[in-house]
């Protein structure tokens, strides 16, 4: 056999079946884990579980909507020019969220890196290639952040070579601003941990002609947050696509000023020699993100909220009768805004520690993940569960607490 024929034969064997499987219609999210009847998770021995915890990256975020999977599959059958797709999708997204412009990024984190890159370089191609080496480049090099907003994600900003300058008060900001100041960055989820409000932050940016950026990664619902911060005057808004919006886990959005997003895109694929070359988003993710956003915006949010509440109440009702156990449903005011069940128990009445309960749930069948924080305390959310999961969680918790009653 000629080498070419051998290669052809090889390519028909293992990959042939894979391709057929990849284009087979998938109608349910459950089917998404299977390819041509294969359950790849069980084949590999990878544990899957009921996610009663929430949208955690370590737990692979959220499950994509069926419509997103369909968009991904249909997109996978054709080629297009990456930039043209980003242009057209960006225009649609911008009009949905009240921004001048938008681009699909590889998550909120990369939206922040790329947005700041755009602020630093403008449309100067030489500067784009210099990042993250700011010394002697003529580029600005400082980002101002409130102390309370420093919870780790600011690494997305230092990836550009910039340094973070921490402030507490408006007077601090005014003093800190100098010719090296590139950006004023705000973290919505920590907005109650800083003394400077959103509006004051935007006003400072306008007063000193410095762009403002806000991280709202996990801040929908409410859906109105998609446009609130553009309307308020932030120049750049960054959000995750694979949390409540149920788009691809590896997608997010950079939205805002047209000039800044055009500049940010100079650091994005397909362009090489950039800090963003490794932050590729493929056509499937771009279209999946777009469809996820559309569906999220047009969702019946009230109905969905009622569904979450009803699931949480199913679980609460199952555990409430236990002596020495208390339950409370709280809704966080900032970030992960969804009904959250807090279960606390008295260790003299129920012998489980947080850790043993978590481990028993994890090792049960089906496996269940909940969040454990502190002694004798777990929290549960229902927004990334599949319908019916709540009944299993309720009965497993009941079983576990029954087992652990002190006699
Ligand atoms: C999740 C999260 C990010 C990172 O978002 P990705 O979409 O995973 O890149 C950034 N900031 C905050 C506050 C987050 O919660």
Instruction: List the residue whose alpha carbon is closest to atom 2 of ligand 1.
Output: 217
Per residue in 120-163, pLDDT (tens digit) is: 999 999 999 999 999 999 999 999 999 999 998 999 999 999 99
DSSP secondary-structure letter at 265? G
Q: What's the confidence (pLDDT) of residue 67?
A: 98
Residues 6+ apart with CB under 8 A from 175: none
Expressed as residue numbers, the domain containing 383 is: 3-63+300-406
Indicate whether 69 belongs to any domain. no
Q: How many percent of the chain have pLDDT more than 70?
A: 91
The enclosing domain of 52 has a CATH number of 3.90.1150.180
**73 located within any domain:** no
Q: Quick one: 230 and 329 in the same domain?
A: no
CA distances from 238 to 28, 140, 148, 313, 397 (A): 30, 21, 19, 33, 37
| Same domain? 178 vs 212 | yes
Residues 125 and 271 in one domain: yes
Read off the pLDDT band of 1 (50, 70, 90): very low
How far is the C-alpha of 216 from the C-alpha of 203, rounded, in Å?
A: 19
Last residue of a domain, one of 297, 326, 351: 297
Both 268 and 198 in a single domain?
yes
> What confidence score (pLDDT) does residue 273 get?
96
Residue 174 predicted with pLDDT over 80: yes
Quickly state the pLDDT bin for 37 (edges 50, 70, 90): confident
- What's the confidence (pLDDT) of residue 140? 98
Position 373 scores a pLDDT of 85
Query: Considering the chain, what is the average pLDDT of its residues?
Result: 92
* Listed residues 297, 328, 347: the one ending a domain: 297
Alpha carbons 234 and 179: distance in angstroms, whole number: 21
Confidence bin at 35 (pLDDT 50/70/90): low
- Of the candidate ranges 27-41, 122-136, 279-293, the one whose mean pLDDT is the lowest: 27-41
User: Is there a single domain that holds both residue 168 and residue 228?
Assistant: yes
**For the domain that residue 213 is a member of, what is the CATH number?**
3.40.640.10
Shared-domain flag, residues 340 and 356: yes
Residue of 64, 109, 216, 241 with the most ligand 1 atoms within 8 Å of its CB, for mutation: 109
Distance 167 CA to ligand 1 centre (A): 22
| Atom 11 of ligand 1: nearest residue by CA position | 217
Count Cβ neighbours within 10 Å for each residue of 209-233 and write b for 16 or more, e otherwise.
Answer: ebbbbbbbbbbbbeeebbbbbbeee
Q: What is the structure's pLDDT at 406? A: 80
From residue 177, give the alpha-carbon distance in Å to each of 122, 149, 170, 290, 396: 20, 18, 11, 37, 55
Residue matched to tokens 């002190």: 406
The number of domains in the chain is 2
| DSSP at 298 | H
Q: Which atom of ligand 1 is nearest to the CA of 216?
A: 13
pLDDT by residue (tens digit) across 200-246? 999 999 999 999 999 999 999 999 999 999 999 999 999 999 999 99
When pLDDT is cut at 50, 70 and 90, the band that residue 34 belongs to is low
pLDDT at 10 over 60: no
Q: What's the 348 CA to ligand 1 centre distance in angstroms?
A: 39
Instruction: List, as one string, the DSSP characters of 250-309.
Output: T-EEEEE-HHHHHHHGGGSTT--SSTTTT----HHHHHHHHHHHHHHHHS-HHHHHHHHH
């Amino acid at each position: 056999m000629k080498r070419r024929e051998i290669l052809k034969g090889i390519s028909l064997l293992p990959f042939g079946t894979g391709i057929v499987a990849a284009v087979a219609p998938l109608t349910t999210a459950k089917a998404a884990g299977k390819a041509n009847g294969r359950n790849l998770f069980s084949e590999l021995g990878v544990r899957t579980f009921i996610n009663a915890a929430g949208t955690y990256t370590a737990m692979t975020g959220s499950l994509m909507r069926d419509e997103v999977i369909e968009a991904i599959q249909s997109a996978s059958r054709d080629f297009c020019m990456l930039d043209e797709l980003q242009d057209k999708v960006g225009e649609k997204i911008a009009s949905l969220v009240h921004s001048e412009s938008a681009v699909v990024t590889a998550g909120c984190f990369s939206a922040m890196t790329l947005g700041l890159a755009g602020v630093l370089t403008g449309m100067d191609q030489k500067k784009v290639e210099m990042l993250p080496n700011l010394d002697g480049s003529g580029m600005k090099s400082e980002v101002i952040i409130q102390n309370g907003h420093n919870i780790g994600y600011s690494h997305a900003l230092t990836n550009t070579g910039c340094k973070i300058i921490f402030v507490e008060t408006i007077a601090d900001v005014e003093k800190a601003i100098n010719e090296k100041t590139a950006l004023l960055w705000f973290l919505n989820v920590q907005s109650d941990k800083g003394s400077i409000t959103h509006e004051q932050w935007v006003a400072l940016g306008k007063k000193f002609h410095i762009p403002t950026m806000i991280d709202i990664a996990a801040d929908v619902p409410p859906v109105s947050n998609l446009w609130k911060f553009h309307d308020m005057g932030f120049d750049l808004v960054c959000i995750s696509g694979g949390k409540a919006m149920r788009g691809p886990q590896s997608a997010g959005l950079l939205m805002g000023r047209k000039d800044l997003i055009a500049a940010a895109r100079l650091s994005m694929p397909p362009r090489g020699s950039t800090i963003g070359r490794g932050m590729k988003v493929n056509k499937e993710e771009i279209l999946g993100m777009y469809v996820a956003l559309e569906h999220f915006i047009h969702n019946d949010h009230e109905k969905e909220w009622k569904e979450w509440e009803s699931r949480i109440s199913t679980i609460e009702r199952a555990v409430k009768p236990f002596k020495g156990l208390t339950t409370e449903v709280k809704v966080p005011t900032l970030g992960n805004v969804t009904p959250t069940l807090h279960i606390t128990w008295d260790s003299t009445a129920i012998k489980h520690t947080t850790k043993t309960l978590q481990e028993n749930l994890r090792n049960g069948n089906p496996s269940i993940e909940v969040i454990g924080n502190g002694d004798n305390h777990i929290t549960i959310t229902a927004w990334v569960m599949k319908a019916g999961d709540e009944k299993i969680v309720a009965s497993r918790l009941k079983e576990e607490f029954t087992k652990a009653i002190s006699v």
